[in-house]
Chains A and B, each alone.
Chain A
């Protein structure tokens, strides 16, 4: 068994949890971030490498973490951007035919601090009641960790996209259809799904509408990404300029940006949706899809002029999808690409295809 140093996790409101230092925490001594919990039973590698978690510390509710190790193909981006990991039990002996590295070694290699041995259920109940908040984890004196927790940054009002987006365009996939994907922190699985539709140019978050249109795309994808959408004036403006000129499909942060660009509003949920078991109803058909979700912000019901709500979360009624026919745009709050999570909603990429082809036929490129 790995010998570990004692460590503490302290929340901004002063709540203290005992645990042991893991990953890079021993080396770093102290780490901070906004604490959220994720309820997925599988997919930790995808979760920690999902750029949407930039600025956040992720507590996993399933106690064993690292069961099947990590492998070369399941990363969702070039590296983890999250600020830390909280676990009940980090696993020493992983097992899976694709595993090439243990999860803790992976975290250490990527300098992700972690704390294990924590009563993550108590933590989850606390966050559920009090909302996501800043936290600090550290191996030092309790007072020091407390102080760090009290001033730990949250994601509210922060642009975290600039830190995760690529610096120059890259191309993925092939085929006659031309697509542009904004990288606000795009996930690999999303790009893989998109690349099945055609040639995808992935562009940095700061790319202007004019530069995007210069690619003569048949459609534009607004990707997922971290942080508070209202802090992203640049992208909101760019999306506004694209609307009506090219079909647009937004996912997660992309969904929020579409809503904002259409004149809607967003708000911060108490503790967000982070899991792969969220029931979402497609209102037109009544069908329920079990979806993968990862967001703290959501679109305010009824705030988006000209758009209809297409999907809703059956757990808490949150708006999960909108469509603006006038602008040839639609978006969903959840992750139809999955990775991790169920594939139920992957048909949305087919819907996007239909929209592009309809757009192409109608001459809007």
Chain B
């Protein structure tokens, strides 16, 4: 059955902002899908609120709506575009939920939109846990018994029926509080009581716990003729009880006999058929009892997922692309495998390497969160590594994480475990945390048996046996060292077989250097002298049975290299590694644009990255893909391989380090300076080096907040005394405002300095090269971001000026911002322009420059300049229609703005008079102990964009897109800090004028009443036996539709936390700055007079910009 001819246009729904559990894997899958549908001649309409995605580039779909993913908005889009079909399976849970809501509301039926890929009925069967269990039982598959309970008695009865141990599943409980495992009625009663308490609907799911069982996933595809294939099997190293998204996972499955594997495969297909997934990819999860092999089915997702992205990268089989094709009628045997060209997609990939995924968490940025892992996902990103053995791949993965680790221990951070007693070590082995694997290795190395480690952790002995090989090789190297006078002599005596053994187990040069106390550089030299170099092998879906045409490589230590020679000029682009708070999809977006732009300019592009979720690691994005860690050693290996591959006129033109965030920048210093394209490493250093940067600003006459540097608490105190409080303290060389704090007094300075010394120990500590910066904190200043481009001839183009909604002090990554600026006067805008040009020239920028300013009372202060791509690049591109990242890449290889203008690549920005607002999305719902107050430490995971004709409307849309739908009627609860009270009056007035009732805490109410504003509900502070309503009760009872709570001072443990927690728990929108409240009030007011309208980017960009 070929392509359906009865469909012409298809609506694709994206997954919205990056949040925990839904990251850029859906950009990868959505982009693939839109492209293949477009190639097949469909008119593709895309809805996604996330501007940092490749899929929302205007060229990817025919109509791109960067609008909130909301029923009302989607209805408007459907009404406008009249799509024939809706493809819901590529935008994660968000798209599925939205599709169900659209189906339930009758919109799809009204407009005759057919849901393709997965029918609503199938989605319902898969998504509703009860229905799913019934369906599975019906076809003879076993599920863990479970039941819902609404009271303690019911809970205990349910647990008795199910049988202990039981687990309280957190599905309906915020952040997993009150979830856990109980082996006996007493423990359970306490747990259930907590859970019932924590659940807004007083409902808990009680299930038989099978924590400790083996956990597996199968990635499966089915076509319209019922042909089914398994693309990949995945085994979790962390057993059941740790969410797969938080587990270290390995492909293929390692410990299943073929008999067990095939039975699991049969079950997966049976599940797909019963659920009714007609076409596309699904993910099926299983648990296996390690003692008996008994197999339970846990869940299935009738859509592409994080795991399917991983499976695609792990095997080379592009699941999303094929799922999109299947949805429009093609059958698996009709689709060719891109990699082999010879074989069809109706086969099962087989691989000849091991893939390991390791999650990356952000607990260090979330004060108050526990780092224990459980059944609810908490990681913010992940890395994948490929090796010929598990040992090699796991060590590569660990060094890909960029958390200062060289691999599995054998590094400075690993020494901490050696100081622990056996019992302490086993305690750490017993609890799943981000650190557990390191503790496991340390335990095995000191001779704790595999059996004991297994008993403590339930990690399968196979994995432990492999890890023990790493320990053994290390002990062996220690012994070798003992035979020589010093490490250098020992290094010289490492022979080829020993090198091979170490490298084949994944040891990095840095680890060997650590063990032999010699610099990494010497290790590399000695190794090369011994003739031990990595060979690059190919990911080809077929274990080399057929020739592969796709140069998708990984390094390993074998005999034969497979990189094909090239006669063309090549550019290496270093990617941004795992997603983390502060460095996310925006940088991948920039790298992908660079690759596309340079391919267009005739270069062969070479991508290096280790993040499986991304578009950059799609083998289609660049001419060559190296799936490798971004470390000095691994990048040097790629450069060597590319140099070896040069033939004839072919040569390696250079390396782009300035588009992938801090990750590649940190590597720039170790590269041959001749190879670094764009702004020189010296300039990058200049902008980062506080002293020289200050001198530069002084020379250019650009004001800075007064500041100093300190390496000790005493120094910091002295600096603060000189500068004057409040001050901002932060370590140098970190991104995302990490460990940055605003401090109001001496004790504050002491506390922060102590904390920094301890907290940064892992990353090298506070030293003269890495001092702490002490700056005057500018209160109530407006923050502005400017993105600019400069070419080698010195022409500067200001690409975007963004005015932040929240005042300086809220990290730029966490605050909303508007483009164009809304309140800045012409004089300020002029100054911003002049300063930015001066900085670009002084830094000899070639490519992108981002400058952050604070504007206070008309005076402009520069906060920092980054001669590299910034987080705002994709937003600027979407708002203005200028492909900023693509242009930057071409500037870096030597073209000029004038040339690009002539070539039609650089066009004037759109003249449409819309306003674009970017809003950050924060992960607080996963971390119930963490205060939601915004500060200088960035904590957002993603962003959304709202576009409309006024700032208010755009802001309201951005809030809706971020998940906080501003109310149109009801009660607003105001609780303002003293300094905000005066300015709060306007906000209150405007809200009252929009028809809201006001509730306020005593002090705020007094102000409002004094100004003649009616306060309907008086609220007393908690605990205080005041006359008014109880704040938390008011919020939890649902009587408040919006909370504005601005605390006194900034930083952790500020007052009013209980109010913010209650709002978070009950999903009441809560604004924590007056600036945001002002914007919201404007939005609400505008909204009451404007109907909801949607516009595509194509329309916005075309307006006047073209000609």
A contact residues vs B (CB 8 Å cutoff): 1, 17-18, 37, 39-43, 45-46, 61-64, 67-68, 71, 73-74, 88-89, 91-98, 119-122, 124-125, 128, 275-279, 281, 286-288, 290, 314-316, 338-343
Contact = CB atoms under 8 A, between A and B. Distances in A.
A45 B450 CA distance: 25
A124 B464 contact: no
B350 A40 contact: yes
A64 B393 CA distance: 13
Interface in B448-474: 450, 460-462, 464-466, 468-469, 472
B354 interface: yes
A316 B340 CA distance: 12
A342 B350 contact: no
Given A46-B258, A95-B460, A95-B462, A278 B347 contact: yes
Interface string B459-496: 01110111011001000000000000000000000000
Among A17, A71, A121, A314, which residue has the most Cβ atoms of chain B within 10 A?
A121
A28 B265 CA distance: 40
Interface string B547-569: 10000000000111010000000
Contacts of A88: 352, 388-389
B293 A343 contact: no
Interface size class, chain B: 35 or more
A71 B257 contact: yes
B354 A64 contact: yes
Given A339-B258, A340-B262, A92 B465 contact: yes
B257 A74 contact: yes
Contacts of B468: 93
Nearest to B233: A41
Contacts of A122: 558-560
Contacts of A97: 289-293
A128 to B, nearest CB: 6
B256 A68 contact: yes
Nearest to A314: B344
Nearest to B337: A315
B259 interface: yes
A96 B292 CA distance: 9
A68 B545 contact: no
Contact of B333 (A45, A314, A341, A343): A314
A45 B257 CA distance: 9
Nearest to B391: A89
Contacts of B544: 61, 121, 124-125, 128
User: What are the 5 A-B residue pairs with the smallest beta carbon separation, nearest first?
Assistant: A93-B465, A43-B258, A340-B258, A95-B462, A122-B560
Interface string B101-129: 00000000000000000000000000000
A290 B389 CA distance: 27
B462 A93 contact: yes
Which of B333, B348, B469, B558: most chain A CB closer than 10 A? B348
Contacts of B260: 96
Contact of A121 (B333, B342, B460, B558): B558
Nearest to A63: B388
Contacts of B547: 128
A288 B346 CA distance: 7
Interface stretch (B25-33, B221-229, B296-304): B221-229
B353 interface: yes
A125 B543 contact: no
Contacts of A74: 257-259
A61 B350 CA distance: 9
Nearest to B332: A288
Query: Which secondary structure dominates chain B's binding surface?
Result: loop
Contact of B354 (A1, A63, A96): A63
Contacts, number: 173
A39 B545 contact: yes
Most buried by B among A42, A45, A94, A125: A42
Given A39-B543, A91-B465, A122-B560, A96 B346 contact: no
B973 interface: no
Interface string B327-365: 000011100000000111011111111100000000000
Contacts of B891: none
B13 to A, nearest CB: 30
Contacts of B733: none
Contact of A275 (B226, B252, B469, B545): B545
A125 B225 contact: no
Contacts of B465: 91-95
Contact of B537 (A41, A121, A288): A121
A37 B543 CA distance: 10
Interface in B3-37: none
Contacts of A340: 258, 262
A62 B352 contact: yes
A314 B333 CA distance: 8
A105 to B, nearest CB: 15
Contacts of A124: 352, 543-545
A64 B560 contact: no
Interface string B248-288: 00001111111111100110000000000000000000000
A103 to B, nearest CB: 11
A119 B349 CA distance: 20
A50 to B, nearest CB: 12
A41 B253 CA distance: 9
Nearest to B450: A93
Contacts of A94: 462, 465
B542 A39 contact: yes
A290 B229 contact: yes
Given A39-B542, A93-B465, 20 more contacts: A1-B472, A39-B350, A41-B253, A41-B351, A42-B261, A43-B258, A68-B462, A96-B256, A96-B260, A98-B293, A121-B388, A121-B537, A124-B544, A128-B544, A276-B258, A288-B346, A314-B343, A315-B546, A340-B262, A343-B265
Contact of B390 (A1, A64, A125, A288): A64
Interface centre among A74, A119, A124 (most CB of B within 10 A): A119
Nearest to B558: A119
A124 B562 CA distance: 13
Contacts of A343: 262, 265-266
A275 B461 contact: no
A95 B266 contact: no
Contacts of A121: 352, 388, 537, 543-544, 558, 560
B347 A41 contact: no
17 contacts: A61-B350, A61-B544, A61-B545, A62-B543, A63-B352, A63-B353, A64-B389, A93-B465, A97-B290, A119-B560, A277-B350, A279-B343, A286-B225, A287-B225, A287-B226, A288-B333, A338-B262
